[in-house]
Amino acid sequence: MVSNDSERPRIGITTYLEPASWGIWHREAALVPRVYLDAIAAAGGTPLLLPPVGTDPSVLGLLDGLVIAGGCDVDPAQYDAIPHPETVGTRPDRDHHESVLIRAALDRDLPLLAVCRGLQMLNVTLGGTLHQHLPDVVAHDEHRPGPAVFGRVDVKIEPGTLTARILGESTTGSCYHHQALDVIAPGLKVTARSGDGTVEAAEVEGKEFALGVQWHPEENPEDLRLFTALIRSNR
């Protein structure tokens, strides 16, 4: 579905269930950090929250784009691996929810932007695997320097790709992850890497706009290029 020119494009964004507190209440809630919502709104879209309950892919027919948000570790069972000791806090229900939405979005050729864990889910959904603990591979923890501390990553982008058309030949982003792409899924093309070789962006071949990035573009309100490109991609 494409919105009329007078409407702001409707961008769905995945949420996740977490214990939360507000007022006198302490209950489970469907959450997503506000920075995602602000980024979508500032780029010209209307954010619509998609909770991981009652998953119905037909809802994508109401949307003009989809953002798969970052978050917890992907369950290794999704790619037939034994859990690493550092793989914690997995949410299989969320994995299933997002896989259903990713497949439905690709089937519809709905513009898709996958962020951090979202890129990992895109790869796993299409048949790829993950490095469960990146420091084992790159011998440093700069991609996740400490609890709730974002790192900074310099990214080199492959020319002639959608990623390059949006961001140019390089960019710098905020990162916070300890998992990353390992075996790349069929049909997924790596379009950017950091200096240590970590996959930082990938695109689904044959789709107009199906892009995942390993960093967190929503954390930089001064650079909305990825969100703007998503919103403008079907207008």
Query: Annotated catalytic, 28?
Result: no
Other CB atoms closer than 10 Å to residue 163's CB: what's the count?
Answer: 27
Find the helix or strand (DSSP H, E) in which 138 lies.
helix 135-138
Query: Annotated catalytic, 7?
Result: no
* Cα-based angle 43, 38, 122 (whole degrees, multiple of 5): 80
Query: Annotated catalytic, 218?
Result: yes
Cβ burial, residue 170 (10 Å; 0-12/13-18/19+): exposed
Q: Which of 200, 203, 218, 219 is catalytic?
A: 218
Q: Which of 98, 116, 203, 219 is catalytic?
A: 116
Of 103, 65, 69, 91, nearest to 177 by C-alpha is 69
Q: Which of 131, 143, 178, 216 is catalytic?
A: 216
Catalytic residues: 116, 216, 218
